[in-house]
Amino acid sequence: MRPTLHGPVGLALAACLLASVPASSQTLRDGRAAEPQRTVPTGQPQVQLSFAPVVRNAVGSVVNVYGARVEKNPRMAQMDEFFRRFFGERGPSMAPERTQRSLGSGVIVDSSGLVVTNNHVIASMTEVKVALHDRREVEAEILLRDPRTDLAVLRLKGKGTYRAIDLGDPDELQVGDLVLAIGNPFGVGQTVTQGIVSGLARTNIGVSDYGYFIQTDASINPGNSGGALVDMAGRLVGINSAIYSQSGGSVGIGFAIPSNMVRAVVASAKAGAKAMQRPYLGATLQKVSADLAEGLGIDPPTGALVASVRSGGPAEQAGLRTGDVILEVDGRIVDDPDAFGWRFALKGVTGETPVKVNRRGKSEVLTIKLGPPPEVPARDPISPRGRTPFTGMTLVNLSPAVSDEMHLDLQEGVVVSEVEDGTTAERLGFRKGDVIVAINGDRIRTTRELDRIVRDGARGWEVSIRRAGQVLTSVFGG
């Protein structure tokens, strides 16, 4: 059973968990009962009373996010014009436009009006509004969309100072800790649910490329995606994102993106980036199996094995070698390549970070310089036209930057970066991310090589592409 997303993206949206606290009564001098004073629960008997103070501390920072996208329908526009010509302005309208909408939750993380939500909540949306806790509605600008982390950052356009939530440290969480979730399930209004942390560092969930989720048993339902997972101090420890479900409803297994990734994404947005800036390692990693661990003298099997090191990259410059096993990043334990990718991504693209490795049974600490993936060679985009299978696509040269952008393992070659709707390339089944390996038996290394072959013309085309790790060859007529 896989996690599902609700709404336009089909992923089951996550819910928000929030907790309340206990009360003690006082009496005023005139005999009237005073407002009960509540504190954060310190034990099980108190937990049974109320989580209200925790909720009150966080609820003002949780918002509802509404997205909309107006789509043009050229065929309907033409039909509409047809009826107008024959029947005038009173003719039936064929609705040349249609609007798609999404609903989710978000969290104010900066008093200037920065809001974090899930990327799938506002994916492809062009208009976004945010409903605050006090029922005010404010238009929002999309600063950053990052599908790889499934996070997005919005900026509220209204003037003033907003109530921002404090960010906690998710690395301090333990399985069994109480947490609360706040969101807007099913659009019924802001709702709080309570549960415990039932798992940490969950990977391979299938929600995002950087999966390192907090698992909770708090009720999570459609509309809760982007909402807050808070600890007993009312601090944000996660953004609720997905659930395991066959029906789309909560079954007590929800996943939240830890707030340390929220910090990193917000920092990228403040720096003006349109997607999160990730550091470049220049090496490929693989999981340490039990057999490999025995041969490497690692017990139990853990860490990320260095499978290859790219020439001139930060890994090579730091002295990382094929066969090394990465055990820690900046003092944080790394269990597998996913955990390394998560920890390394959090470091940003400036400065340097220590990495502990096991090399032939001995521990060493290497220092890796942090920086963005290089864009070498240049993209040099081309858009072939004419009677070719490539008409309607844009192709660029692969580089570490392009590979990172498009989630590809390859570092050289020519890749399809865009495919226009209704074009020859789309009808023939080409997709964004396809790597052109060869044309009519000639290997393709650069966009200039491909452009030369296309310009020479041909009556038939044998095209080999790499897609999802497989090489596929098709023959097309001229």
Q: Which of 150, 231, 324, 404 is catalytic?
A: 150
Handedness of CA 391, 394, 396, 398 (dihedral sign): negative
Q: Which two tokens stand for residue 71?
A: 């789509």
Q: Which residues are annotated as a binding site for substrate?
A: 120, 150, 223-225
How many CB atoms sit inside 10 A of residue 92's CB? 10
Give the distance from CA 236 to its chain's centroid. 18
Contact between residue 410 and residue 467 where contact means Cβ atoms under 8 Å apart: no
Q: Which residues are annotated as a binding site?
A: 120, 150, 223-225
Active site residue 133: no
Radius of gyration (C-alpha) of the chain in whole angstroms: 26
Q: Which two tokens stand for residue 433?
A: 């991310």
Backbone φ and ψ for 450, nearest 5 degrees, come out as -65, -40
Q: Which of 50, 225, 259, 268 is catalytic?
A: 225
Distance CA(121)–CA(242), nearest Å, equals 11
Contact between residue 476 and residue 412 where contact means Cβ atoms under 8 Å apart: no
Distance CA(184)–CA(103), nearest Å, equals 9
Handedness of CA 453, 459, 465, 471 (dihedral sign): negative
DSSP secondary structure code for residue 170 in this structure: G
Active site residue 421: no
Active site residue 407: no
- Please report, for residues 189, 387, 398, 402, 407, the alpha-carbon distance to residue 411 in angstroms, rounded to integers and kept in the order given: 47, 30, 6, 8, 11
Q: Which two tokens stand for residue 47?
A: 């937990």
Torsion of CA 313, 314, 318, 324, to 10 degrees: -80
Q: Which of 6, 102, 120, 335 is catalytic?
A: 120
Active site residues: 120, 150, 225
